[in-house]
Structure 1
């Protein structure tokens, strides 16, 4: 329903029935954005002299512009977002607060939210302070944050399964936000995304290099990943990735993983209904990590290249967590929460190789028993033994710039992934 008043009309919640799944996804997205944007503010204090840099905003926005009416109502109900640029996440020192609605950006104002987002991206990437006028008349000064390259973003609520790992941007599936991220866990996700760029950027650029960023769907996505255009693109990318993944695993392996996932979901629903909190057995943990390994093995396009350096990204992020006086074992707590909830189709749930590499790093810091405690008494080396006879190898194949299984050889817009596809999708900027 649109508010009946003079001037532009913005959606209000009229109490209608909306898609409950979408509503839940939007709420998860909101909680994730709040945690991630605060973490981006913390990451900006790193000031690493050796990393490639880019500019970030100390806040994030969303808009329901161009969405179907029912979906616009869902966004208002879940997060208070209407057609205007609405702040949904903010760093601790941000001049803009959650719920603020933006009217002007350095004197620029349009009813078209996508044009406003493109202007916001331009102001961000200039790196200079700029004025933001809010509906209600208040004007504040925003100063972009200099951070290490590698944006961290969540998948659109309308396409929660989307994931991609690129030297410019890591897109995490929405299930990561469902782990109820702590401050340090959100910081781990942000720094890990930067680590993928720092440790794998050269390799990914050689594989697929694109330079045009301005006035593309990619640029809009870095401002607001929940917008309608991003959801449409993400849906196409998910379908392309699923097609690619189907050629990777054998039918036997796919059936086993599906059976494991179905059983885990059934048990989880039963336990939630009865209020039972169960400690996962070693076999259950091994199965969950096997699914994480299968997810890593199914990545395609540029993300396939990125997957070959995930251990290096882990080590990069671990060291930066220490520099920021955060707890690097947040990597293990986030992993544990995800597998306990059966959320393994993401890069924050660790496969055995990554778990062992991170555990070795933690051991070198004298934190072996802390890791075991987080893993509910299970030792990484025991999990490795338990998984030795499982059908899906967690180790990625040897890297080469050409692969007969590489779906990027096929002619489709998202063959190299969501980010690469969006870089080739221009949008109007005037």
Structure 2
């Protein structure tokens, strides 16, 4: 009897020692800001994955192309213990490769765990990402195995070049524009874009690659893709190695000049706020509300110009093609049967929520150019209505009379203020093209 008791105790202790194989949410306190970033990251992926599939219907033979998958994945592998708990709490993601967003035709549902891609098997999602990227870029159907024992066939699909992805959850404000991949700040999800506005976001990113790619390549051209951190980020920009690189990129971008420009902008907006308050006291309540709406639009457009002017490295060259990306996306929305003014509605939503640290709030130059295209199609009245009754040409004229103090000089390839001496000088995406995936995973 004593022997049986000892045997049972040994088995019980052995089971306790092994513990859960994968992280579970044990209710502990986690970083709330990071948790919010993870939830926004998941919302962003759910937003754009169906839009990416819609963009494939263009079948544009004139654009350079990339392969996409009918689902998006994430993994908590490599993150700290507390942060792994946050991943579970936010998106039910653990160390395994977990599906977090799908298209209508995806063979895998949200929440499915992938532990095999082709002949490679692993419960470490970060290690399996490289195999998944290789299988995707081969452009032919391939098999994946799931933790539930399913064997499923995945078929990649072609889209125009320019992956649309979101910033890692630990750097929600990050934005980086590159002809291969653009990372957008997580604040975009707060505007709750419609499916058509999400399509605008995807088409605009592809248009930026198509219209600005040649100029960006002139600045710097990297040819190696396979085996780099970039390749992992095209599948999961929230992977830990990419998150570490994003942290480093943000730190590198914090220069004294950038901080000074930020202070100038802040002071300018404070002064504008004081003037607006005085105006509100003088005018009637209705007039003040109208003035507030106009001033809010003007402030946002100035902030958009400042945001565009503050971009550095390859993103700064990309910024010179923003108008052409607008035009590219505008023409293709209609081709896909979507409302051609989706860019204007997203612009207005972002202004109303004071979300201006992104590429989708138009500055004066972009608003003037896109409004001209819309007017040529007979949409001028609709644009005015979408802008809250404010005429685009009137806003542009008023902006022109009050230039932004913090706006940077226009870009030239001989600019001395674009450093090339540190890894992230040309931007996060370009740096990831030079970071081996294996070394990144070991950090």
Instruction: Note whether the superposition's TM-score is higher than 0.5.
Output: yes
Paired residue secondary structure (2:50): helix
Give the structure with higher Rg (CA): 2
Aligned to 1:67: 79
Match of 2:424 among 401, 404, 414: 414
- Aligned mates of 1:217, 1:254 — CA distance in 2: 36
Shift of the alpha carbon at 1:427?
A: 2.0
Match of 2:222 among 210, 217, 221: 210
Note if 1:335 corresponds to 2:347.
yes
- Aligned mates of 2:262, 2:74 — CA distance in 1: 40
Quickly say closer, same or farther: Cα 1:398–1:16, change in 2 above 3 A: closer
- Aligned mates of 1:223, 1:164 — CA distance in 2: 16
Instruction: Indicate the larger mover: 319-328 or 8-17.
Output: 8-17
- Aligned mates of 1:343, 1:138 — CA distance in 2: 43
- Aligned mates of 1:250, 1:9 — CA distance in 2: 47
Instruction: Indicate the larger mover: 279-288 or 61-70.
Output: 279-288
Match of 1:84 among 83, 96, 113: 96
Shift of the alpha carbon at 1:94?
A: 1.1
Quickly say closer, same or farther: Cα 1:370–1:423, change in 2 above 3 A: same
Paired residue secondary structure (2:132): helix
Paired residue secondary structure (1:296): helix
Quickly say closer, same or farther: Cα 1:250–1:232, change in 2 above 3 A: closer
Paired residue secondary structure (1:312): helix
- Aligned mates of 2:261, 2:360 — CA distance in 1: 21
- Aligned mates of 2:274, 2:165 — CA distance in 1: 28
Contact 1:245/1:298 (CA < 8 Å) preserved in 2? no
- Aligned mates of 2:364, 2:59 — CA distance in 1: 32
Aligned to 1:15: 27
Paired residue secondary structure (1:43): helix
- Structure 2 residues without counterparts, runs of 5 or longer: 1-14, 277-288
- Structure 1 residues without counterparts, runs of 5 or longer: 265-277
Quickly say closer, same or farther: Cα 1:157–1:259, change in 2 above 3 A: farther
Shift of the alpha carbon at 1:261?
A: 9.7
The number of residue pairs the alignment matches comes to: 413
Paired residue secondary structure (2:373): helix
Paired residue secondary structure (1:165): coil
Shift of the alpha carbon at 1:322?
A: 1.0
Paired residue secondary structure (2:73): strand
- Aligned mates of 1:244, 1:337 — CA distance in 2: 32
Contact 2:38/2:91 (CA < 8 Å) preserved in 1? yes
Paired residue secondary structure (2:120): coil
Structure with the bigger percentage of helix: 2
Where do 4+ consecutive residues of structure 1 move more than 4 Å?
Answer: 3-8, 257-264, 393-399
Quickly say closer, same or farther: Cα 1:248–1:333, change in 2 above 3 A: same
Instruction: Indicate the larger mover: 300-309 or 231-240.
Output: 231-240
- Aligned mates of 1:138, 1:252 — CA distance in 2: 57
Paired residue secondary structure (2:153): strand
Match of 2:244 among 223, 228, 232: 232
Paired residue secondary structure (2:254): helix
- Aligned mates of 1:4, 1:98 — CA distance in 2: 31
Paired residue secondary structure (2:202): helix
Contact 1:353/1:395 (CA < 8 Å) preserved in 2? no
After TM superposition, the score normalised by the length of structure 2 is 0.88
Instruction: Indicate the larger mover: 145-154 or 370-379.
Output: 370-379
Quickly say closer, same or farther: Cα 1:259–1:114, change in 2 above 3 A: farther
Contact 1:241/1:299 (CA < 8 Å) preserved in 2? no
1:102-251 to 2 correspondences below 5 Å? 102-243=114-255, 246=258, 249=261
Shift of the alpha carbon at 1:263?
A: 12
Contact 2:296/2:351 (CA < 8 Å) preserved in 1? no
RMSD over equivalenced CA pairs, Å: 2.5
Instruction: Indicate the larger mover: 146-155 or 385-394.
Output: 385-394
- Aligned mates of 1:381, 1:397 — CA distance in 2: 24
Aligned to 2:285: none
Aligned to 1:273: none
Aligned to 1:52: 64
- Aligned mates of 2:148, 2:325 — CA distance in 1: 44
Note if 1:373 corresponds to 2:385.
yes
- Aligned mates of 1:64, 1:262 — CA distance in 2: 46
1:248-259 to 2 correspondences below 5 Å? 249=261, 252-253=264-265, 255-257=267-269
Aligned to 1:286: 298
Paired residue secondary structure (1:204): helix
Aligned to 1:271: none
Shift of the alpha carbon at 1:183?
A: 0.5
